[in-house]
Amino acid sequence: MTTALVAPSARYAAVPGLFREVGDLKRVRTADAEGSMASRAFARAWSALVGGADPTAVADRETAAAVAGARLAGIDAAVLAEAGLDGDAAGVVLRRAVDEVAAGVVHPATLDRLRAAPPPAGAAVALPAFIDALRRQPRAGATAPGRARLIAEPPEDHGEHCWAVAVYGALLAEDHGADRGDAFLLGLAHHLHNAVLPDAGFAGETLLGEHLDAVVDRLTARALGELPGELADRVRPLLAARADAETPLGATFHAADVLDRVLQVHHHARAASFTVREALDDLELVHASPVQEHQNAVLAAAGLLP
């Protein structure tokens, strides 16, 4: 079967930098809660959905927060409010962050929504058990049949991956002609079976062989049974798009999924090859300030300049 390329290729060339920074929220933590910003956003989004929130509204709020977080990291609307900024001032800061990383990258209509979206709501309801299970379940990493697995530490968890695919899907939906609420929901839900099934990657799926589809379907149905009926009915038909790349939703989902999987590998490769010179020169670790000359003199005297 030939897979149709639905989105313009120029968009794919533009988004990796933004997606890489958004994906780094899998590795950003703050003192006020356990887990990465990505893992917490995964749970927060599901909480809103289980509480009856509109999926498109949740997608807009969470995607805007993720894009702002690409540069602001853990400084979100709640932190800005606690630091004394009123809603208008906080909004200016968040929009400034969105514009810095997304302007000229995402579809113009998508950018308008990111700039206008309100902050995500806090957790509203108790979470189904599968959500915390996915947040604890590590991803397998790169595996291939007949080959030893490549383990890169620390592994991401399934909640972080599903959150990233949901956000990337919502950011790409406009280009593919897909519904962004559906793209976001499918991203969040596409690994429901891994709440029970530990991830052995492609190698493990190959060994499950003729049992794989039945196992995935059975465990997915179990997780869907933990959701309110109306939400489960909304999610269930979307999961069929995991098997195609020719519908707008399928093309959006598979673009988001493969970008996240490969960008995760790029992260580990980049971290392994990171140098002191990059920190000092490219990232300006000792940045411009009234004391920069003194700081550089100290490092030179200590023999710490590359």
The size of the chain, in residues, is 306
pLDDT tens column, 110-147 = 999 999 999 998 767 889 999 999 999 999 877 778 88
| pLDDT tens digits along 67-105 | 999 999 999 999 999 999 999 999 999 999 999 999 999
For the chain, count helices (H), then strands (E). 16, 0
Per-residue pLDDT of 21-40, as tens digits, reads 999 999 999 999 999 999 99
Does residue 150 sit in helix, strand or coil? Answer: strand
From residue 134, how far is each of 198, 297, 299 by CA, in Å?
A: 10, 49, 44
Distances (CA, A) of 37 to 32, 74, 98, 163, 248: 11, 7, 17, 10, 29
Q: Which domains does the chain have, with CATH numbers?
A: 9-274 (1.10.3210.10), 282-306 (no CATH)
Is 111 in contact with 102 (CB distance < 8 Å)?
yes
DSSP letter at 225 equals T
Cis peptide preceding 154, ω within 30 of 0: yes
Provide the token pair at 134: 């996915």
What is the structure's pLDDT at 113?
96
pLDDT digits (tens, 9 = 90+) for 164-212: 999 999 999 998 899 999 999 999 999 999 999 999 988 889 999 999 9
Q: Are 38 and 264 in contact (CB under 8 A)?
A: no
Distance (Å, whole) CA 255 – CA 164: 12
Query: How many whole angstroms separate alpha carbon 10 and alpha carbon 119?
Result: 30
Distance, in Å, from the CA atom of 273 to the CA atom of 284, rounded to the nearest integer, reads 18
CA distance 37 to 26: 6
205-257 pLDDT tens trace: 999 999 999 999 999 999 999 999 999 999 999 999 999 888 999 999 999 99
